[in-house]
A and B are shown apart, each in its own frame.
Chain A
Amino acid sequence: MWKKGLTLATASIILASAAVNVYAASGRDYISIVGSSTVYPFATTVAEQFGKTSKFKTPKIESTGSGGGMKLFCAGSDIDTPDITNASRRIKFSEYEKCQKNGVNEIVEVKIGYDGIVLANSKAAPQMTLSKKDIFFALAKEVPDPQGGEKLIANPYTTWKEVNPSLPDTKIEVLGPPPTSGTRDAFVELAMEGGCSKVDWIKALKETDKKYYKSVCHTVREDGAYVEAGENDNLIVQKLEANPKALGIFGFSFLDQNGDKIQGSVVEGELPTFENIAAGKYPVSRPLYFYVKKSHVGVVPGMTEFLGEFINDKAWGEEGYLSDKGLIPMPAEERKQFAADVVALKPLVMSK
């Protein structure tokens, strides 16, 4: 038995190393994509369509988060690094620099559309009408002293009515993503900072002490009113159903799928509907991107064709299959411009 075991182990190690050698010699015959979990549902839809309608293999898509994706993407230009990375925010200058340093010199930036971030609650409760300022005062860790003066105090508000007399007299209870999430970053930047800058003296800080300004506007309270509910948006939807008093923060596609159970809150007078986000009226929406390694185009089979599938109007257009999945398409003009950049493989140039 034990002899057999030894033989088996040796055989399997030999087999395994042989397999790796074969792999290394043949290169890669499928596209490898990494990056944001927000872009994941859209990128996978295109990949699947591409795999079924072309002679190429279906691309492999890993859900690593925007930051993790950039790290892998910028690690080098070898064939075993990813060809494309998805991001729910624009590439940072530090990441761009790292890419350049590691020999990933030419990156093509493609914006694919927009994603709305919604505040929603159960249909059993009344719909909320909020302004960005209400959101900031309800969720920031420190708020300006209601007594007046340019002073910050720990957030004293416990009910929505205290924040704004026109809001219902219910406890502030918001379920949202943890700090590692791109959705949280975007929410903080668009909604909270938007409300924060309505306070004149804080806005003035932006010029004088930018770091302090950011920490004031971007810090979410930790006293239990904001509940970090994990990355799983389905879970938040279920919790909202069970607790009609709570509000949840998540991507538009989850509101779109669960319209019979939950309702989006009005923000700055606009409802989070497909039309409002597409028209740029709804204030809390962010662009989604992917980045292509130009040196892999023409090396990994199917790259040009895959990009072609993505920038086709039947995918990212107003009536494309991505809009069925909840992606908010860009205006025709913007689509045309990005499509032209993709066809020309125009590399991104960033400066500090």
Chain B
Amino acid sequence: MQAEKRETTMDRVSKGLARRYRRERWFRLFGLSAIVTSVCFIALLFVSIGANGWSAFQQTEVLLDIHFDKEQFDVDNLSTANYGALVKNSMQALFPDVTGRSDKRELNKLVSSGASYVLQKMVIKDTGIIGSTKKIWLPADDEVDMFLKGYISRDVAESARRLNDKQIGWIDQLVAEGRLEKKFNTIFFTAGDSREPELAGIRGAVAGSLFTLAVTLLLSFPIGVATAVYLEEFAPRNRWTDLVEVNINNLAAVPSIVFGLLGLAVFLNVFGMPRSAPLVGGLVLTLMTLPTIIIASRASLKSVPPSIREAALGVGASKMQAITHHILPLAMPGMMTGTIIGMAQALGETAPLLMIGMVAFIVDVPHGVTDPATVLPVQIYLWADSPERAFVERTSAAIMVLLGFLISMNAIAVFLRRKFERRW
């Protein structure tokens, strides 16, 4: 063997160096590309929802001179008077040259059927306006709305659109007169569900979601924390507690529809609770979120250093005092984070609610936990399935509201953790 051929350790290291650097770069690149891909998908989701949905926050309204004709009203017909006729008369006054039954019908279709309810509410609130003439912005029909927002093109053949050439002529005239404008869509935030897109709102679904989550929170937080404290601080380590622990972890992985079936069998059939009620929805979602909360709570109890526990016991605190005065306050931020994440999951759930009748058309905004109600994700599902074109943008708008709730809940969780978490 000759001397120059002998390899030193350094030689061997530097030979492999380039390869090692290359592999390191690939490794980093792999991680980076994973993140970039997922960010791209999220951006795509947000952009497509935003692009579809932003226009739903505006609604076309039409300015009409409504004459509250004295003839139409008397003392006891304030809620049943022919408000539709008031709207029709004022449309007729705007277009005096439209005659013939079918033309008039086409003309009246430009105003939403909900316009008469707006007038009804005004009269019931203030009977003094009877006899006067007022300029009022009323919701336009969803077809008109879609046309003004550019979703219906005027270039396609007349038979292929739902607005005919005459109607488009009338719309152009109204726009020229400044009587047809896009305004902020307050109905979307103040009304319950409706089959008419221009009258449909998410208030009923939001209220239903809040009631359901309130029940879930009231039940799952105390039960979850109590379970975690018992298992972590009091329970002996034996086969039974192992079994309980395995089952809790299993429950966290059970598909949510199973909890719905359980709710149907137990809460509805055995206890006879009402269908479609946020109370039952909350109970079912409690079952679903409990494992999440228990697991998070146990983890945060475990992370409290044993020295604190021992110090408390050492100065003479009872076990309960040690837990309630020292351990729980320190573990609380972690428990709250787990709870909020569990709540956010519950907020987005539809499958278990299907079985207990919360996938339903409910117009009236619920006022309690036993009123029939639906929740936000269910509302999105129902709108996504509706034939009317204008529900497409409303679906996206409702998704934006739901995402808003989810993001703010997660932000609160992060904030709580940052603010109260103690590191040792």
The 0/1 profile, CB within 8 Å of B marked 1, for residues 217-239 of chain A is 00000000000000111100000
Contact A22 B195, beta carbon cutoff 8 Å: no
Contact B385 A257, beta carbon cutoff 8 Å: no
Min C-beta distance of B62 to chain A, whole Å = 19
A61 cross-chain contacts in B, Cβ below 8 A: 360-361
B274 cross-chain contacts in A, Cβ below 8 A: 20, 23, 80
Given B357, B361, B389, which contacts A40 in the complex, CB threshold below 8 Å? Answer: B361
Min C-beta distance of A65 to chain B, whole Å = 11
Contact A260 B161, beta carbon cutoff 8 Å: yes
21 A-B pairs, CB-CB below 8 angstroms? Answer: A1-B328, A1-B332, A2-B324, A5-B226, A9-B223, A12-B215, A12-B219, A19-B368, A23-B370, A41-B195, A44-B361, A53-B80, A58-B364, A61-B360, A61-B361, A123-B160, A234-B392, A256-B387, A257-B387, A257-B388, A321-B113
Question: Within 8 Å of chain B (Cβ to Cβ): is A199?
Answer: no
Given A6, A52, A123, A234, which contacts B387 in the complex, CB threshold below 8 Å? Answer: A234
A9 cross-chain contacts in B, Cβ below 8 A: 218-219, 222-223
Contact A257 B360, beta carbon cutoff 8 Å: no
User: Which A residue sits closest to B392, measured CB to CB?
Assistant: A234
1-22 of chain A: CB within 8 A of chain B: 1-3, 5-6, 8-9, 12-13, 16, 19-20, 22
Complex alpha-carbon distance, A269 and B218, angstroms: 63
Please report B residues at the A interface, Cβ cutoff 8 Å. Answer: 80, 105, 113, 117, 152-153, 156, 159-162, 194-196, 215, 218-219, 221-223, 225-226, 229, 271-277, 279, 323-324, 328-329, 332, 357, 359-364, 368-370, 372, 382, 384-389, 392
22-52 of chain A: CB within 8 A of chain B: 22-24, 30, 32, 34, 37, 40-41, 43-45, 47-48, 51-52
User: Which B residue sits closest to A61, measured CB to CB?
Assistant: B361
A259 cross-chain contacts in B, Cβ below 8 A: 159-162
Once A233-B385, A258-B389 are accepted as A-B contacts, the answer to whether A80 and B225 lie under 8 Å apart by CB is no
Contact B385 A234, beta carbon cutoff 8 Å: yes
Question: Within 8 Å of chain B (Cβ to Cβ): is A184?
Answer: no
B385 cross-chain contacts in A, Cβ below 8 A: 37, 231-234
Complex alpha-carbon distance, A259 and B225, angstroms: 56
B328 cross-chain contacts in A, Cβ below 8 A: 1-2
User: Which B residue sits closest to A231, measured CB to CB?
Assistant: B385
Min C-beta distance of A36 to chain B, whole Å = 13
Once A8-B222, A58-B363, A60-B361 are accepted as A-B contacts, the answer to whether A325 and B195 lie under 8 Å apart by CB is yes
Other contacts beyond A12-B219, A48-B195, A60-B276: 11, CB < 8 A: A1-B332, A16-B279, A20-B273, A20-B370, A23-B370, A32-B275, A62-B357, A62-B360, A257-B387, A260-B160, A325-B387
A-B contact count (CB 8 A): 128
Contact B372 A60, beta carbon cutoff 8 Å: yes
User: Considering residues B194, B273, B363, which has the most beta carbons from chain A within 10 angstroms of its beta carbon?
Assistant: B363
Given B80, B273, B387, which contacts A41 in the complex, CB threshold below 8 Å? Answer: B387
Min C-beta distance of B222 to chain A, whole Å = 3
A214 cross-chain contacts in B, Cβ below 8 A: none
Once A57-B364, A58-B364, A260-B156 are accepted as A-B contacts, the answer to whether A80 and B387 lie under 8 Å apart by CB is no
User: Considering residues B226, B275, B361, which has the most beta carbons from chain A within 10 angstroms of its beta carbon?
Assistant: B361
Complex alpha-carbon distance, A321 and B105, angstroms: 12
Contact A80 B372, beta carbon cutoff 8 Å: no
Min C-beta distance of B94 to chain A, whole Å = 22
User: Which B residue sits closest to A26, measured CB to CB?
Assistant: B370
Min C-beta distance of A37 to chain B, whole Å = 7
B159 cross-chain contacts in A, Cβ below 8 A: 259
Please report A residues at the B interface, Cβ cutoff 8 Å. Answer: 1-3, 5-6, 8-9, 12-13, 16, 19-20, 22-24, 30, 32, 34, 37, 40-41, 43-45, 47-48, 51-53, 57-58, 60-64, 80, 123, 231-234, 251, 253-254, 256-260, 319, 321, 325-326
Complex alpha-carbon distance, A63 and B370, angstroms: 20
Contact A63 B361, beta carbon cutoff 8 Å: yes
User: Which B residue sits closest to A259, measured CB to CB?
Assistant: B160
Min C-beta distance of A224 to chain B, whole Å = 26
A233 cross-chain contacts in B, Cβ below 8 A: 385, 387
Complex alpha-carbon distance, A57 and B159, angstroms: 39
Complex alpha-carbon distance, A231 and B324, angstroms: 52
A8 cross-chain contacts in B, Cβ below 8 A: 218, 222
Contact A20 B271, beta carbon cutoff 8 Å: yes
User: Which A residue sits closest to B109, measured CB to CB?
Assistant: A324
B162 cross-chain contacts in A, Cβ below 8 A: 256-257, 259
User: Which A residue sits closest to B80, measured CB to CB?
Assistant: A53
Contact A260 B152, beta carbon cutoff 8 Å: yes
Min C-beta distance of A318 to chain B, whole Å = 12
B196 cross-chain contacts in A, Cβ below 8 A: 48
Complex alpha-carbon distance, A43 and B277, angstroms: 21
Contact B225 A2, beta carbon cutoff 8 Å: yes
Complex alpha-carbon distance, A209 and B317, angstroms: 84
B272 cross-chain contacts in A, Cβ below 8 A: 20, 24, 80
Complex alpha-carbon distance, A233 and B384, angstroms: 9
Contact B362 A1, beta carbon cutoff 8 Å: no
Contact B160 A48, beta carbon cutoff 8 Å: no
Min C-beta distance of A273 to chain B, whole Å = 9
Contact B359 A62, beta carbon cutoff 8 Å: yes
Complex alpha-carbon distance, A45 and B156, angstroms: 29
Contact B218 A51, beta carbon cutoff 8 Å: no
User: Which A residue sits closest to B329, measured CB to CB?
Assistant: A1
Contact A254 B387, beta carbon cutoff 8 Å: yes
Min C-beta distance of A109 to chain B, whole Å = 22
A231 cross-chain contacts in B, Cβ below 8 A: 385
Complex alpha-carbon distance, A254 and B361, angstroms: 20
A232 cross-chain contacts in B, Cβ below 8 A: 384-385
User: Which A residue sits closest to B225, measured CB to CB?
Assistant: A5
Min C-beta distance of B111 to chain A, whole Å = 14
User: Which B residue sits closest to A55, measured CB to CB?
Assistant: B79
Given B113, B273, B324, which contacts A1 in the complex, CB threshold below 8 Å? Answer: B324
Complex alpha-carbon distance, A80 and B153, angstroms: 48
B225 cross-chain contacts in A, Cβ below 8 A: 2, 5
User: Considering residues A8, A45, A52, which has the most beta carbons from chain B within 10 angstroms of its beta carbon?
Assistant: A52
Contact B363 A51, beta carbon cutoff 8 Å: yes
User: Which A residue sits closest to B200, measured CB to CB?
Assistant: A48
A45 cross-chain contacts in B, Cβ below 8 A: 195
A60 cross-chain contacts in B, Cβ below 8 A: 276, 360-362, 372
Given A19, A48, A258, which contacts B369 in the complex, CB threshold below 8 Å? Answer: A19
Given A30, A37, A53, which contacts B372 in the complex, CB threshold below 8 Å? Answer: A30
Complex alpha-carbon distance, A5 and B332, angstroms: 13
